[in-house]
Amino acid sequence: MNEQVRSSKEYVLENPLEFKAKLLQWAQQFEEVIWLDSNDYKQQYSSYDAVLAVDAFTGIKTDYYNGFDKLKEYQEQTQDWIFGYLSYDLKNDVENLVSKNQDDLGFPDLCFFQPKKLFLLKGNTLEIQYLRMVDDEIEEDFEYITAISIETGVFDKDMGQPCEKIKISLRITKDVYKEKVNQMLAHIHRGDIYEANFCQEFYAKNSCIHPLQTYYHLNSISKPPFATFFKMNHCYLLSASPERYLRKEGKKIISQPIKGTAKRSLDIKEDKKMISDLEKDLKERSENIMIVDLVRNDLSKTATKGSVKVEELCKVYSFDQVHQMISTVVSEIGSNTSPVDVIKTTFPMGSMTGAPKISAMQIIENLEESKRGLYSGAVGYFSPEGNFDFNVVIRSILYNKEKQYVSYTVGGAITAKSDPDKEYEECLLKAKAMREALEGTSF
């Protein structure tokens, strides 16, 4: 048990939205920052509207080798709030797999930290939890944050030198993408797999961005329920993810895979038709149901007998940019089951791999050109009680400030009914928000 105990204070906020902007600006002074924002998206399973964790007291960074065992040891020893991420390449710790594709970002495979300073926002109630070593700063910090003037520009501390206009390059051309999708389809027709998530990277070398401004732009386009601003020294994640990977509430485990995407329309009648068409789309439904079966199987590895259930199947939810088909699968675990083991036995998430899972991951590795890294991994937290909540890292921009490398990756599920041209169009639809956010950051 960690001897550090947290002091806690509660405040009632007059303007939570304004305070959020001030809080995130204040956070930029720290080397370790995680900001999680639901954008007030109303959902059944949530604890907070927004969370900020800054300033590491302890931390863990490691490659994939024994990564989950190291995380389990860290989580059990700390028994406190810890925040961080799991990269997709932790698959190599779970299965006999490799990651040999090009990696220009160079993020660690796993990274978590125990924050000295923690802010938990729900409605207009703000709870501040500081480790005792800094708890005399709670009042002073709250007053300082409240006094920040956002009229003078939210991004002042973030600006530095102006950045040139970004030139985005494609890791593979449209023709090569279609050729690779056809190779994936050949695997499906041969019976090697039923479905696989195939991804492509867009990137910019020798480029700089203003991370906070870019995050605000990306978040304003999408307003997703699992938005993230993450900073670890020179490594940044700016995420507009709509998808939950896994959540633990006591003994209950919740997984909410997304499979199925449709455009939005400004015309209300046309928009409703797009929802209806997505609900009835046999290809999209079959994609979703295949992943639901995979998730049920993954959850059964730690579930008590008979507790795996599908709460919602193929329900369409609407976001600012797209409609998404989401299913909710739940289970219960025994009181002695480690929270890290629940993650280890379900990782990587089925919506980003395919079915059967191991075969799909092997084929993905052979056909993709870039190492996924943090993309299609997960960001989130463990609470002192061992509860957790993690998103799926999609619709995200990754930035290595030191290497001046900017990257975003998009993908889609390939099934027997996939058309390479339509899959490419769906990729561009998913990439639209990231491209817009990046192209809007030049000065």
What residues form DSSP beta bridges with 112?
A: 60, 84
Tell me how crowded residue 89 is: count the other CB atoms within 10 A of its CB. Answer: 26
Long-range contacts of 279-282 (CB under 8 A, 24+ apart): 279/314, 279/316, 279/325, 282/417
SS3 29: coil
Residues with active-site annotation: 243, 259
376 CB contacts (<8 Å, ≥6 apart)?
A: 88, 197, 199, 348, 349, 352, 392, 393, 394, 409, 411
Tell me how crowded residue 272 is: count the other CB atoms within 10 A of its CB. Answer: 12
- Residue type for 187, please? H
Closest CA to 394 of 324, 308, 305: 324
Which class for 413: exposed (0-12), middle (13-18), buried (19 or more C-beta within 10 A)? Answer: buried
Cβ contact 292:310 at 8 Å = yes
In angstroms, the Cα distances linking 159 to 350, 441, 443 are 39, 11, 11
Alpha-carbon distance of 265 to 277, in angstroms, equals 13
Alpha-carbon distance of 75 to 2, in angstroms, equals 10
Closest CA to 248 of 389, 86, 391, 348: 389
What residues form DSSP beta bridges with 379?
A: 85
What sign does the CA torsion over 125, 217, 232, 46 have? positive
Cβ contact 53:26 at 8 Å = no
- Residue type for 114, please? Q
- Residue type for 418, please? S
Cβ contact 260:278 at 8 Å = yes
96 CB contacts (<8 Å, ≥6 apart)?
A: none
